[in-house]
Amino acid sequence: MLLQTKTRVRVRGGSVGPFPLPPLLSAALQFQWCLYNLVSSFTVTVTLLYWMLVYPIEKHPLSTFNINMHVGISVQALLDLVLSSTPIHLAHYVHLFLAACLGWESYRKISS
């Protein structure tokens, strides 16, 4: 009889499931996870902002280039989010909040 046990993913403690990780690889996984959270969220945000604010319908006709550049990347990010087994936790939005605060402060410094 096979017993299935649940393994928890612990990157901070230096292990993924039952496999121990060296500290450098653990830090690299944390950095990759942070970048994944930022990029997947920003691609959808940029797409929404482009089609709602920037794209003028009366000046430019709808082209395959615009669709490929501004819809294709979001579809790819959403498919990656849905089809991959990367766990998403509410605490990961701290990365987004910190990036948004950094971007806002940079914008305020530049515009003043």
The predicted pLDDT at position 2 comes to 44
What are the structure tokens assigned to 70, written together?
Answer: 């501004």
How far apart (Å, rounded) are the C-alpha atoms in residues 33 and 8?
A: 16
What are the structure tokens assigned to 103, written together?
Answer: 């971007």
pLDDT band of residue 21 (cuts 50, 70, 90) is low
Chain position carrying tokens 């944390």:
30
pLDDT band of residue 6 (cuts 50, 70, 90) is very low
What are the phi and psi torsion angles at 19 (to 5°)? -100, 120
- Any long-range contacts for 20-25 (C-beta under 8 Å, 24+ apart)? none
Q: In what order do the strands lie in the sheet with 9-10?
A: 9-10, 15-16, 19-20
Task: Answer positive or negative: Cα dihedral of 88, 90, 91, 96.
Answer: positive
The predicted pLDDT at position 16 comes to 54
How far apart (Å, rounded) are the C-alpha atoms in residues 44 and 76?
A: 10
